[in-house]
Amino acid sequence: MSRFSIAVLAGLLPMSIMAAPQAYVLDTLHSFPNFRVNHLGMSTIYGRFDKMSGKAVLDQAAKTGSLEVKIATASVSTGDARRTDGTRARDEHLRSSDFFNSAEFPEAIYKSAKFNFNGETLESIDGHLTLLGVTKPLKLMLTSFKCGPHPFNKKAMCGGDAETSFKRTDFGMKFGVPAIGDEVKLSISIEAYPE
């Protein structure tokens, strides 16, 4: 093989590595889905799920990717976990069959196989949300996305924020509508490290 051929092959090698899809695992301590919903037409109730896990595959060169996250519905938290007056707390009510029915549906799952790029920027993710046994399409709009080294330990990582909204009645969660809003706004923050 000529030196020229070797040089060309050596030049192409890093490019082929960059084109390979990279698998990521979600950092469960820094990845949370947050939600907000209108209460009585008066104010907004904010909450989040404390436990989310998942995996993603990202190929930035080919501009493709996939995502699968699992949310533990029993980990719902709205700042009212237990009351001292003997009445049931809001978080207990949310775990009941009136809302997330955590005993029967312990996980909500989001799966995507389509990442939409605008140039080099990941703009949105098309996927499906399965909640209470019902699966519906749901598009996540990325408000930020970045891959780079961790500022302290220098490990490669990716992170971003996404927003979306859906009607809970589409998933069979009808209790309290319209006093408790039908539309749920979701904000998901994710940090992930290569597998």
Partner 1 sequence: MNEVFDVPAVQAGVAPFLIALIVATLLRRSRLLGLAVGAGFLTAIALVMGFSFEPITSVQKMVVVGVGATLMVLVLELADGQPTIRMRVAMALLVGAAAEWTVLRLLLQQDLVTALMAGSAAALYLVVLVESGTAVGEDTVRSSAAALMLGLGAGALALLGASAMLAQIGISVGAAAGATLLVQMITGQRAAGWSLALPASVVAGLVGLLTVFTGELRWYCLLPMLAIPWATRLVPAGTRAVWLTAILTAMAALVPMSLAVGLAWFAAAPLSP
Q: Is 97 in the site for partner 1 (CB under 8 A)?
A: yes
Which one of 21-29, 54-62, 80-88, 158-166 is the stretch in contact with partner 1 (CB under 8 A)? Answer: 80-88
Residues 23-62, mask of contacts with partner 1 (x by CB under 8 A): ----------------------------------------
- Least separation in angstroms between residue 99's CB and partner 1 is 9
Query: What DSSP designation does 88 have?
Result: P
Q: Is 132 in the site for partner 1 (CB under 8 A)?
A: yes
Of 2, 5, 84, 153, the residue at the interface with partner 1 (CB under 8 A) is 84
Which one of 53-61, 97-105, 111-119, 157-165 is the stretch in contact with partner 1 (CB under 8 A)? Answer: 97-105
- Residue 169 has phi, psi (to 5 degrees) of -65, -25
Which one of 48-56, 65-73, 85-93, 183-191 is the stretch in contact with partner 1 (CB under 8 A)? Answer: 85-93
Q: Which residues bind partner 1 (CB under 8 A)?
A: 82, 84, 86-89, 92-93, 95-98, 101-104, 106, 132-134, 172, 174-176, 178-179
